[in-house]
Amino acid sequence: MKIFYTGPLVNAELPEVMLEKHGIIGQQEWVDPQAADDGDLNRLTRILVPEADFDRAWQFFYAERDDEL
């Protein structure tokens, strides 16, 4: 597994769902697993993807697109 995203939980859920819709199963984990789970949406999380799917996931989210205006 390779780290694809690190940031607040509030920003992590949508990319994780979008990856799954494209057949890339991500795994979410807390950056600090010892911290209390108090429902804080700013708590840092990571999305990990299989190394075999990392390049495809990166292209999907971060590659410059020629078809945009």
Task: State residue 61's pLDDT score.
Answer: 86
Task: State residue 36's pLDDT score.
Answer: 80
Are 18 and 62 spatial neighbours (Cβ–Cβ below 8 Å)? no
Task: State residue 38's pLDDT score.
Answer: 85
Where does the pLDDT of residue 64 fall: very low under 50, low under 70, confident under 90, or very high at 90 and above? confident
Domain count, the chain: 1
Task: State residue 28's pLDDT score.
Answer: 94
pTM of the predicted model over 0.85: no
Are 6 and 48 spatial neighbours (Cβ–Cβ below 8 Å)? no
Mean pLDDT of the chain, nearest integer: 90
Asked if the structure places residue 67 within a domain, the reply is: no
User: b/e map of 14-50 (b: 16 or more CB within 10 Å)?
Assistant: ebbeebeeeebebeeeeeeeeeeeeeeeebebbbbbe
Asked if the structure places residue 28 within a domain, the reply is: yes
Which range marks the domain in which residue 54 is found?
2-33+40-62
